[in-house]
Structure 1
Amino acid sequence: MTRPRTPRCLVPAFALALAPAAVTAQTGLVIEDGQAQIVPAFADSSSWIRHELWVETEFDSDGDGRPDRVHADVTRPAQTDDEGLKAPVIYETSPYYSGVAGVDFRHFWNIRQEVGGEPRARDPFPPTIAHVPSQPRISNSHVATWVPRGFAVVHSQSPGTGQSQGCPTVGGANESLAPKAVIDWLNGRARGFTSVDGDEEVRADWATGGVGMTGTSYNGTLPLAAATTGVEGLEAIVPVAPNTSYYHYYRSNGLVRSPGGYPGEDIDVLFDFIFSGFPDVRDYCLTTVRDEMTANLDRMTGDYSDFWASRDYLNHIGGVHAATLMSHAFNDWNVMPEHSYRISMALRERGVPLQIFYHQGGHGGPPPLEVVNRWFTRYVVGVENGVEDDPGAWIVREGDDPQQPTPYPSYPHPEAESVALHPGGDGQWTGALSLEGPVDGRGAAAGSGTIIDNFSFTGDQFAAAEWSNHRLLYATPELSEDVHLSGVATVRVRVSTDAPTANLSVWLVSLPWTESDDLNDNVITRGWADPANAGAGEIASPRSGTPLEPGDFVELEFDLQPDDQVIPAGARIGLMIFSSDKSFTLHPDPGTTLNVDLDETRIELPVVGGSAALRRALRAPARPAQSTPPPDI
């Protein structure tokens, strides 16, 4: 098992024995209850030392024949100069610090495209991000939290953004090596300079060498990117809603899928969105990086490739030794929770110190400060505060204060077991979803269901409809007691189409569908897949597919997004299968027909307590079938 390395520690051994607080000699960190405390001498912001520098990297991504330099700023307590204090570092890096292009859907890909068809060429963003020539103070994030506790806070701008040299590569190697260079500088292994092209060096002789990284979304991706390099000194990371694979951000199981809220976004669109770097390298970066992205992203098949594999951090996980506190939301439909889940599971297998914080909200949301403080105090400062004995998972339960998560031994819940449910009956109304299998367990065939694709309607309209020939819906009886789902639901579908390509979308919902401003009040989890990738091996990252033969059935099995949710008594758990998802998939011409073989279709739910718990909850009186005329949907 990998053991956490102990960084250079600010708190001497004799001080750790003091109670209730541990204090260093002179002015130093104060540790109480396993956390770094605010020290009045550090909290005087007027005395803080602020400076900027450019760190020399080991890459040349703008083709000028010289190593790129990345722009960084430092904020540290005055005592790092006046008293020789050695400070640990909290570090955040980002491509956003000098502005972005803004969201203009005219420059996104047109999603009115046939699945497997030729994409319509997009009109790239014009150079709308005005370059900021000087930015001595890059950001104030984390400064007010950590400098009063005796830490230094460092920010840097990603390559090709702001005053950092190079080209943005959106998951390319230089995005990992740039923060590595900053950490190397903090440990005396890389050179820093007072200007972007000068030779006056600046050293981090005030730093302990111990670094903790954090950030949200793209800023949460980059701590993991840095950690994959195995850089010495990066002791802990707290990624919040990190994108851990650009393939999984823009594709699902071989299907071209947009991130929530940004229909038609793809990796080259994101390049345009962040490219705020030096104007003199713009043409080079466009032709050597952005145009290569456009050539390799493949919006026809949606398949995995070497291009995408190089931007999948799971493929580089072997370098990670930094203790990881992962944070995500189960209802994040932008950077979906699979991103943190897949990395967390891999780190757990490798024995890397790990905790997970999940909440029920949307994109973003860090763990409570107390949890983060204990993590950084343990691994960045080196104080033995017993964090290894803390719960492995923190879950914010439905309706709870995010600052008051419920502790669990791990995630998924250790008592969760996979339980299969089988659809049957007329899903254009609402069919049955049962443990026994076909229909009501009496041996009758479950039959089949027909879907006519139509992207004009949204998934919530389908789920709320009493009847629709554009979706199939199957539901359990009303639950007689709460059911706790924890982990990954897996769906198996046997389907045929009358066309060589089609979208396939699956939602797990809580019924009855209620009118709410928050769609997540009803959505349990979702997933999407390309039937053309059935039988293609690892469907989560398929490298090839086969066009469908009209009328021939294919079987595919894929995961829905991870979840941890308590479905309340009185609700019904519903499985909804349809084709185009207006909010996420391409929008092919309506009319493709899909037939689902219900006898060979099922969903496996991760139920805490297993089949026994679900059986107890399904002991409810059956309701009469609906008989009112169908609405026009």
Structure 2
Amino acid sequence: MGRISRIWRVGLAVLPMAAVAVLGAAPPASAQRGPSIVVRDGVTQPVFGYADAIRERLFVTSTFDSDSDGQRDIIAFDVMRPKATADGLKVPVIMDASPYYSTVCRGNESECKADLDGDGLLDRWPLFYDNYFVPRGYAVILLDMVGTNNSTGCPTTNGTPDNLSAKQAIDWLNGRNVARNAAGQVVRADWHNGRTGMIGKSYDGSLAMATAVTGVKGLTTIVPISGPAEYYDYTRSNGVITRGNSYVSSLANTVTNPARRDYCKPVRDALGAADGDETGDYSAFWSERSYVKNVDKIKSSVLLYHGLNDDNVRPDHFSKFWYALAEHKVPRKLWLSQEGHVDPFDSRRTVWVDTLHRWFDFWLHQVRNGIMDEPRVDLERSADVWETHADWPIPGTRETEVFLQPGTGGAGGLDLAPVREASTETFADDPAQRQDAMINNPDTVQPNRLAYLSEPLRAPLHISGTPVVELRAAADKTDTNFGAILVDYGTAERVAHRASGEGIITLATEDCWGENSPTDNGCYKQTQKRVATADLELVTKGILDAQNRKSIRTASPLVPGKLYDFDFPLLPEDYVFQPGHRIGVIIVGSYPQYSSQADPNRATIDLALKNSRIVLPIVGGTRAAHAAGL
């Protein structure tokens, strides 16, 4: 521990609630004495300075001890707020809590925090939030997650200390914790209006969700961008390990400052010992890293963003969180794009900044701008072509059974009725088979996959939601994997999300969002969609460890030769198959481009077609499927 962090351990008292505004109690701007925000055309205006904004670095003592050194960890965060807050202006907070500010860094241009003159205050602030929102009457906090940058302790990769890091600062903002500056002086948030919003992409997005599900008072809204909501699903899928052994401890190492990595090795070793890599099963370790199960505790609204083709934080993270938000009637909006792991600032910049501005104005400044009266969902149908919908899955969606049909020398078929006679098709698990080999040439018989194709469609067929594969099969080993892929066979121009850049191209030109200081500007490189014409599109996919067919918590070995039901979801999608295209369902054993570990069993699998199907969430249900020619 450093000298400063040690002196804070003594004599910390909780500030009285009177030290800050209570959530919801801030008077409207027009009733404030002294400086106030200015609202014009339904949004706050940039009437405050940026170069002269107040900048602070503060530290709070946490409620946890991640490194087990007998002392509670210190959480550091940087604050920027309008100068007018020193004269009575009350403002809300926009917070981005992150583990990345000194290692991986943030945004498409990998911006790090930077103290250029060594005075202990930031001169360069990553991302545009400070440049844009501080002049409009907001404070911005960039918080260092436990064990990263200026915070003490050690990262636990979405464990409890990570999850509670941002809560420590929100408690300070609302008078329930003490913050000190580097000199050890107590600093009060007497400028705060009681409302805080959190935002962030990927890990930062997960920290926003993690904070919200604590139910902390004072967190008014969150904007998670492509964040893991179930960390089990980030490293596993239905019992199959999808990222390498010890991934959790490896990521903890990545986000730790190099000078502290040796110190934090015992914490990483404990993570590696508890993660269950030997089985891939769900356990208490993963339950600690689940935010979906605690959605009922959320008191904030949610603006959720995800790329439908994100193969890093896969789309089942947004869908499970979204379904839970709907169940508990949490105020919410959703954006779904065609890109991969891309921030909306780099996908639909102008509209996103406008939406974010109005969202924060409504929830944090209580500006009545009608944003919650607008359609709940924005969805990108094709490159830069967006639609709005009342909800997601799109209203009118019905789960529709589509049955696998036997082939006659080539691919099998798809039909709304099951086969009448018992029929079995056989394939061999090949742990080395690549994804392109699985989905290319669907009419060609291959020994390591089964392919089922519809006839060319007569009308568009729209799926919206989570497809489920239901297979009846037997294997000649006590274990095997199953993989399923839904494919659109038809030539079209599409967002090239599988190429470099995850669907975008970064240009040399810049545009600017907000005000500047001598050391920090709000200018960022522009982007454009990467598109390509292709003969097919991998629409969605899923995998299952056969031993986890009953539960992801417990493995049940197979009896060789015995038929079992294997039901598992594919990743959620919203996709329109066009007329003339064919729908393909590919069934495999191992799926090495989805799983990080080769399946050693090399089982031979018999698929009983009479009881095997894919359940598609079709907009319009069976009637729409018939109209399309299924």
Question: What is the TM-score of this pair, normalised by structure 1?
Answer: 0.82
**Alignment deviations for residues 497-522 of structure 1 (CA, whole Å, 9 cap, x no partner):** 12222121111110147899655960
Relative to structure 1, is the Cα distance of residues 427 and 564 closer, same or farther in structure 2, using a 3 angstrom cutoff? farther
Which range moves more in the overlay, 159-168 or 339-348? 339-348
SS at match of 2:24: coil
Identity between Structure 1 and Structure 2 (%):
33
**Alignment deviations for residues 422-450 of structure 1 (CA, whole Å, 9 cap, x no partner):** 11123983210111221xxxx344x2222
CA contact (8 A) 2:338 2:497 kept: no
Structure 2 segments unaligned to the other structure (5+ residues): 1-21, 106-115, 500-535
Q: Equivalent residue for 1:185?
A: 172
CA contact (8 A) 1:10 1:28 kept: no
Distance (whole Å) between structure 1 residues aligned to residue 70 and residue 148 of structure 2: 19
Q: Equivalent residue for 1:386?
A: 370
Aligned AA (2:376) = G
Relative to structure 1, is the Cα distance of residues 199 and 348 closer, same or farther in structure 2, using a 3 angstrom cutoff? same
Is residue 2:91 matched to residue 1:87? yes
More strand by share: 2
1:140 maps to which of 126, 137, 145 = 126
SS at match of 1:558: strand
Q: Equivalent residue for 1:172?
A: 159
1:596 maps to which of 601, 607, 618 = 607
Q: Equivalent residue for 1:630?
A: none
**Alignment deviations for residues 443-498 of structure 1 (CA, whole Å, 9 cap, x no partner):** 344x2222212233322222113331111110111111111111111110112212
Is residue 2:58 matched to residue 1:7? no
Distance (whole Å) between structure 2 residues aligned to residue 522 and residue 265 of structure 1: 32
Aligned AA (2:80) = T
Paired residues for 1:92-111 under 5 Å: 92-100=96-104
Distance (whole Å) between structure 2 residues aligned to residue 427 and residue 189 of structure 1: 71
2:251 maps to which of 267, 270, 285 = 270
How far apart are 1:587 and its partner, in Å?
1.4
Is residue 2:337 matched to residue 1:327? no
Relative to structure 1, is the Cα distance of residues 170 and 240 closer, same or farther in structure 2, using a 3 angstrom cutoff? same
Q: Equivalent residue for 2:78?
A: 73
Distance (whole Å) between structure 1 residues aligned to residue 37 and residue 616 of structure 2: 47
CA contact (8 A) 2:30 2:36 kept: no
How far apart are 1:318 and its partner, in Å?
2.9
Count how many residue pairs are aligned between Structure 1 and Structure 2.
551
Distance (whole Å) between structure 1 residues aligned to residue 408 and residue 262 of structure 2: 54
CA contact (8 A) 2:431 2:602 kept: no
2:227 maps to which of 226, 237, 242 = 242
Over 4 Å off, 4+ runs: 24-27, 132-135, 512-521
Relative to structure 1, is the Cα distance of residues 591 and 60 closer, same or farther in structure 2, using a 3 angstrom cutoff? closer
Q: Equivalent residue for 1:410?
A: 391
Q: Equivalent residue for 1:61?
A: 66
**Alignment deviations for residues 543-593 of structure 1 (CA, whole Å, 9 cap, x no partner):** 101112221121121211111111111111111110111212121348421
CA contact (8 A) 2:23 2:217 kept: no
Paired residues for 1:19-418 under 5 Å: 27-36=35-44, 38-39=45-46, 41-42=47-48, 44-81=49-86, 83-100=87-104, 136-137=121-122, 139-141=125-127, 142-195=129-182, 199-258=184-243, 266-276=247-257, 279=260, 282=261, 285-287=264-266, 289-366=267-344, 368-401=352-385, 405-418=386-399
Aligned AA (1:140) = P
Distance (whole Å) between structure 1 residues aligned to residue 24 and residue 381 of structure 2: 35
RMSD: 2.6
CA contact (8 A) 2:468 2:570 kept: yes
**Alignment deviations for residues 235-278 of structure 1 (CA, whole Å, 9 cap, x no partner):** 000000110111111111122123xxxx5572122112212276
Distance (whole Å) between structure 2 residues aligned to residue 393 and residue 572 of structure 1: 28
SS at match of 2:200: strand
Q: Equivalent residue for 2:558?
A: 548
How far apart are 1:212 and its partner, in Å?
0.5
Paired residues for 1:491-502 under 5 Å: 491-502=469-480
Paired residues for 1:411-560 under 5 Å: 411-426=392-407, 429-438=410-419, 443-445=420-422, 447-465=423-441, 466-512=444-490, 518-519=497-498, 522-536=537-551, 542-560=552-570
Aligned AA (2:372) = E
Structure 1 segments unaligned to the other structure (5+ residues): 15-23, 102-131, 537-541, 620-633
Distance (whole Å) between structure 1 residues aligned to residue 580 and residue 393 of structure 2: 25
How far apart are 1:147 and its partner, in Å?
1.1
How far apart are 1:216 and its partner, in Å?
0.3
How far apart are 1:370 and its partner, in Å?
2.3
CA contact (8 A) 1:165 1:277 kept: no
Distance (whole Å) between structure 2 residues aligned to residue 135 and residue 338 of structure 1: 41
SS at match of 2:558: coil
